[in-house]
Structure 1
Amino acid sequence: MEAREILLPGFTVVGYKIEANLDEIEAGLGKQTYDALISSKDEIANQTNGNVILIQIYPMKPGFHPRVDRFTQIFGYEVTSADRVPAEMIQYTVPESKYVTYTHQGLESELGITYDYLYGKWIRETGNEPRGYDFEIWDDRYKPDSPNNEIDVFVALK
């Protein structure tokens, strides 16, 4: 599958927010947050579907390194309205933007290959610039420990 550019309208999610580096996330914080979201799913009103959305917001600073520097992750569900946000959760609105999208196929542990391709080779070859955030959609194809896993990745572009 080829990466392609698309324009998406803005949308709102309700869920949990964490700030950590990639090592902390991979050491269990990400899984704990995902599990908390899944167990609280029924508390989130006005969901558009059952897909988990993982939003990652990066500090736009020279030399940013995700294994060392902290960044924001939001685990949530898209909602049509965020008029009732459960305690300890947040609402976050993703603006309309142009994105490069690509479907990662394979183990979740190999997702770095997809990100390296999008943020490295694809952006360099197309002359685009990242906007400082990306998101993933985890739908019924999300099977993180299976080679049949598929994750749709969207990198926001300036």
Structure 2
Amino acid sequence: MESTAHPVSPIVIALPSMTVAGISIEANLKQISEELLGRKAYETMLSRREELPEKQSPHLHLVQIYPLKPGFHAQVDAFRQIIGCLVPEGTEPPEGMTVHTLPPREYVKATHQGPESELGKTYDAIYGQWMQKNGRRPDCFDFEVWDDRYRPDQEDNEIDLYVALAKL
């Protein structure tokens, strides 16, 4: 039986800049899935998050940074993912980790409900239908918050998605 995963009421919100420290990978979605790169980075970050004593939240964040390239396609083209924690700006990363600061931006925020394997449907709804319907364009990054509701293989999984919007 197919899940009824869908975004929950997308809204536009403005967020200040934020800095994430964590494990970085560079690959396309096919490689991330087939080589379990995301799962390995997630497990590494879980085991190392205490190395970030000034983290601002216990939750993990997945930041995805896309190249500004015509015809970019995440299944084929490599992009950067960082799985980490929010930290104060200026934080020096422990060895083997990276730090990245996201600029202040407006985001479309939605909640994915259902297994993580169906997350693409929620992203497609935001990047496709929502952007077109609302006359907006995405910027070159987005992020997810993996909090206490994050149960990737379960039907009751929930992930908050934040897709950066290009400035008007």
| 8 Å CA contact 1:14, 1:82 repeated in 2 | no
Residue in 1 aligned with 2:13? 6
| 8 Å CA contact 2:20, 2:99 repeated in 1 | yes
Residue in 2 aligned with 1:155? 163
Quote how far apart the aligned CAs of 1:45 are: 2.1
Residue in 2 aligned with 1:125? 133
* 1:94-146 alpha-carbon deviations (Å, 9 max, x no partner): 11000000000000000000000000000011110111110000000000010
Aligned 1:53-68 pairs, distance under 5 A: 53-68=61-76
* 1:50-93 alpha-carbon deviations (Å, 9 max, x no partner): 11000001112221111110000011100125434200111111
2:28 equivalent among 9, 16, 21: 21
Structure 1 segments of 4+ aligned residues over 2 angstroms from their partners: 80-84
Q: TM-score, length-normalised on structure 1?
A: 0.97
Paired letter, 1:9: P
Q: How many residue pairs are counted as aligned between the two chains? A: 158
State the secondary structure of the residue aligned to 1:32. helix
Paired letter, 1:104: H
Once superposed, what is the RMSD of the aligned Cα atoms?
1.0
| 8 Å CA contact 1:53, 1:78 repeated in 2 | yes
Paired letter, 1:115: Y
Paired letter, 2:96: E
Any unmatched runs of 5+ in structure 1? Answer: none
Residue in 2 aligned with 1:71? 79
* 1:12-55 alpha-carbon deviations (Å, 9 max, x no partner): 11101110000111120110011110011111120111110000
Identity %: 47
Q: TM-score, length-normalised on structure 2?
A: 0.91
State the secondary structure of the residue aligned to 1:46. coil
CA distance in 1, matches of 2:51, 2:89: 14
Any unmatched runs of 5+ in structure 2? Answer: 1-7
CA distance in 2, matches of 1:89, 1:76: 9
CA distance in 2, matches of 1:48, 1:111: 26
